[in-house]
Amino acid sequence: MQAASEWLLHCRILLCFVECIIGNYLLRAIVLRRVFLKKLLLTALGIVTLSSSVALAAPQDKLDVSLQQWNIDGSFDYYLHYQGSSQLLSQVSLPQNQNMSIFSMKYHADDVNYIKFQYGSTSSGNKGTGSDSDWTTQGSNTKTDYGNMDPNGNQKMITLDFGTTISQTNKDKTSIFTGWGRRDTNNQLTNVIYHLEDGVDIGNVSQPNNGSSLNATFQGVHIGIENEHNFNEKLVLISGLSASYLNAKAYGDWENHSPAWTWTDAGNTLGCDMNIGLKYSLNKNTTTELGYYYSYAKMTGGNEVLNQNNGEIDNLSGIDLGYTQRGYYFGLSSKF
């Protein structure tokens, strides 16, 4: 009996030991399960929170793209003075009345800095009726030669600017910029008709269209300021002003003279550009724009190399070149 009792006691002790082991494993399993469920819940909440923040965060618009149509009323003028005198010897005035299509891109590197590229071009067509005038009697203001002509060709412009915002409120945003720009005018001189020659009225004497031309380029660096004033969420007043230091060149070819005259004019000058307009938001990403552009530059006291194509080359001074463009424009822009 005593042996049996000892055996039962040992069995109970062994059973208690097994129960303790099993209970310990069960307890650890429950704890691990709770930890796992807690981690799983936190991970799920993190994913939901991240997804919500991504869904709610509005991406910043980086790129503005616009197309504009500019109705240009302009002129390009060439002036030759008597050497060492302010008296005019010759003047050619060519209208520049055309429509220019302008493509613009503005990339916002961040909330403050931006890069802007602009390119514009007209078609090749008639720009209006120009004139050629001479005063060949020195010391006299009497015009001795006069004729009309039609300048046919195109005009181009290109600018690249780097800008930064210097002031911003709920109503106004002001930025300064610097960059480089170029403007070109190409003019084939056609339908040439002279009315006055050597002081004599000759009526209407036409000359052949044999390739005479007068082209010019104005290019250089500029610095400027621009402002946006918000009237409300949809209507914005925009304005800008810039000053330029330009290299001006003109290239002439007068085939109606025998032999033909060719010449190159060069000099430096200052120029200015201004704009003002209204922008109206059609929706979040699209705006329409109506405004006015003005651009002006005039070189004075430039130099000319005249090749008379008969063995004589003249180096002249007292050359002026003027280029004006102005007019209303309409545009449409989108944000990306």
Domain extents for the chain?
1-57, 62-335
Question: Is residue 248 very low, low, confident or very high in pLDDT (cuts 50, 70, 90)?
Answer: very high
Return the minimum-mean-pLDDT range out of 26-30, 147-151, 240-244.
26-30
User: Which pLDDT value is given to residue 94?
Assistant: 98
Helical ranges in the chain per DSSP H: 2-56
- E runs forming strands in the chain: 63-81, 88-95, 98-108, 113-122, 125-126, 130-134, 145-153, 155-168, 172-185, 188-197, 200-206, 213-230, 235-254, 261-281, 286-307, 313-335
Closest alpha carbon to 229 in 240, 238, 216: 238
Residue 218 pLDDT greater than 70, yes or no: yes
pTM of the model: 0.80
Contacts of residue 130, defined as CB under 8 A and 6 or more positions apart, other chains included, come to 92, 93, 94, 95, 148, 149, 150, 151, 187, 189
Question: Is residue 309 very low, low, confident or very high in pLDDT (cuts 50, 70, 90)?
Answer: confident
Average pLDDT over residues 61-79: 96
Whether the Cβ atoms of residue 281 and residue 234 lie closer than 8 Å to each other: yes
CATH architecture of the domain with range 62-335: Beta Barrel (2.40)
Residue 245 pLDDT greater than 90, yes or no: yes
Average pLDDT over residues 13-41: 40
Average pLDDT over residues 220-233: 97
Closest alpha carbon to 93 in 197, 189, 208, 204: 189
Residue 49 pLDDT greater than 80, yes or no: no
Return the minimum-mean-pLDDT range out of 69-73, 262-266, 273-277, 312-316.
312-316
Strand 98-108, strand 63-81: pairing: antiparallel
List, for residues 263-299, the tens digit of each pLDDT value.
999 999 999 999 999 999 999 999 999 999 999 999 9
Average pLDDT over residues 45-71: 61
Closest alpha carbon to 114 in 160, 166, 163, 65: 163
Average pLDDT over residues 96-105: 98
Question: Is residue 310 very low, low, confident or very high in pLDDT (cuts 50, 70, 90)?
Answer: confident
User: Which pLDDT value is given to residue 46?
Assistant: 42
Higher local confidence (pLDDT), 117 or 26:
117
- Cα–Cα distance for residue pair 266/291, rounded to 1 Å: 33
Residue 3 pLDDT greater than 50, yes or no: no
- Cα–Cα distance for residue pair 332/26, rounded to 1 Å: 72
Whether the Cβ atoms of residue 105 and residue 63 lie closer than 8 Å to each other: yes
User: Which pLDDT value is given to residue 61?
Assistant: 72
Higher local confidence (pLDDT), 209 or 106:
106
Whether the Cβ atoms of residue 39 and residue 51 lie closer than 8 Å to each other: no
Question: Is residue 60 very low, low, confident or very high in pLDDT (cuts 50, 70, 90)?
Answer: low
Helical ranges in 78-132 per DSSP H: none
The number of beta carbons lying within 10 Å of the beta carbon of residue 10 is 10
User: Which pLDDT value is given to residue 311?
Assistant: 83
- Tokens for 99? 């429509």
Whether the Cβ atoms of residue 244 and residue 192 lie closer than 8 Å to each other: no
Residue 77 pLDDT greater than 70, yes or no: yes
**φ, ψ for residue 33 (rounded to 5)?**
-60, -45
- Cα–Cα distance for residue pair 48/42, rounded to 1 Å: 10
User: Which pLDDT value is given to residue 258?
Assistant: 82
User: Which pLDDT value is given to residue 9?
Assistant: 43
